[in-house]
Amino acid sequence: MAFSHSSLKLQFLFPFFAVCLLLCHGFPAQHKNNPFHSPNHHRFASHNYRDALTKSILFFEGQRSGKLPSNQRMTWRRDSVLSDGSAMHVDLVGGYYDAGDNVKFGFPMAFTTTMLSWSVIEFGGLMKDELQNARNAVRWATDYLLKATAHPDTIYVQVGDANKDHACWERPEDMDTPRSVFKIDKNTPGSEVAAETAAALAAASLVFKRCDPSYSELLVTRAIRVFQFADKYRGAYSNGLKSVVCPFYCDFSGYQDELLWGAAWLQKATKNPIYLNYIQVNGQTLGAAESDNTFGWDNKHVGARILLSREFLVQKVQSLHDYKGHADNFICSLIPGAPFSSSQYTPGGLLFKMSDSNMQYVTSTSFLLVTYAKYLTSSRTIVNCGGSVVTPKKLRAMAKKQVDYLLGDNPLGMSYMVGYGPRYPQRIHHRASSLPSKSAHAAKIPCSSGFNYMNSQSPNPNILMGAVVGGPDQHDHFPDERSDYEQSEPATYVNAPLVGALAYLAHSFGQL
């Protein structure tokens, strides 16, 4: 068969397209030193991690606020609060509802964005068809964070009056509670929210660096400005905005961890020595060596240690040597029976940090375990816990055990991800999921009328696919009651780190 000029041209261009795809999707080279490689891994998994990955990303579409796009897949959700920000003459339409209510809290939204971005940075190359969906989930957040940081030295950190919102049980689409807007600025600082927002924008800039360079540049430029504001005007937002943000997302750990975390992300995103110098000068005063081994929306020290340990292990930045030791201390705190072990586990084997939304610590820790294992493998290094050697393989096995528990390998045989497996929570604490959708009940359901649905024993009519709830108590019990927000409420920051862990597991078992 004769080749046309166009087909010859395509043959010539194919390597170029292949390189572009590689740059865009970041598929890792498959060679024996591949840091993803897990020797002797089994090809037969008890769980469909790929299915769980798909659902864990789909969940974010159920949390969207604002004008929904034409390709919205969770179709029982509709547009909501299209005038957010108008009270302050700013556009704050969009972003995510953090959990089961209808408030937009900037602090957990920013952390969610950072962790979703980190999931894509480390494991996006393994995600195949889900990579674009994961990027879309990141972008839905960053588009909003760009709006919230549009004015210099000001960040809009919350939309909605949480107390009045919680006095109602209504769909986002029906919302009529006050959409009050709250901000931090020079006079009312909020270093933790500002630095976390800077971390989110910096991390997300790496997600889009090759595929959308101009958007990436916008994100990192804004991150730099926001971090300067966070550092220059120091103070906790829980002080100036106490009546608004407490007890919902009150900052208990101080803002020092976010400043270290934000600087670590800016160092990674910009490679500007100013941030490395900042970390070297300020690391100790910002708590680099503290033994607070809980990683979640409030405390970022452990995440910063793991992230900075990579710069030493993989990039050979010798001045960050101590962060390998700090990261190892966190790992040793998780190992039952190790000399420095400080972690509790349920009888069924679940990491247990606290009764309120414990699963967020399970997912964030699982992510850190597979990520640190990747860094250790790259540098051919191990962890030493008081004479006990802990290998990357051991870390991956620990992460897998936690994720498997979440997906159903537990005393109740219950998946804590909605829509995954034969048995999962039916009555999650989530307004939009528990009230009839607009297509099923077009008329407005007023504020107080919604409590009839909240107090009902009926399963939620709308399946919030992929939502991971707070999880069981320390005895592996789970009542599946809608009123029990500590155990039955999902949240964006529970799912965000799980995305990365599931991508790794799906790949390692040959499902991706």
Catalytic residue among 101, 258, 311, 480: 480
Handedness of CA 345, 349, 353, 357 (dihedral sign): negative
Q: Which two tokens stand for residue 215?
A: 């958007």
E strands within 312-444?
Answer: 344-345, 351-352, 383-385, 388-390
Among residues 51, 298, 311, 489, which one is catalytic?
A: 489
CB contact at 8 A, 172 and 179? no
Active site residue 429: yes
Which secondary-structure segment (H or E) carries 143?
A: helix 130-148
As a whole number of Å, the CA-based R_g of the chain is 22
Is 480 assigned a catalytic role?
A: yes
Q: Is 30 exposed, middle or buried (0-12, 13-18, 19+ CB in 10 A)?
A: exposed
- List strand residue ranges (DSSP E) for 248-374, in order: 344-345, 351-352
Q: End-to-end CA distance of the chain: give it in Å, rounded.
A: 36
Whether the Cβ atoms of residue 431 and residue 172 lie closer than 8 Å to each other:
yes
Say which DSSP state 293 is in: -
Burial class (CB in 10 A: 0-12, 13-18, 19+), 179: buried
Residue tagged active-site, from 429, 430, 476, 507? 429
166 is catalytic: no
The residues carrying an active-site annotation are: 429, 480, 489
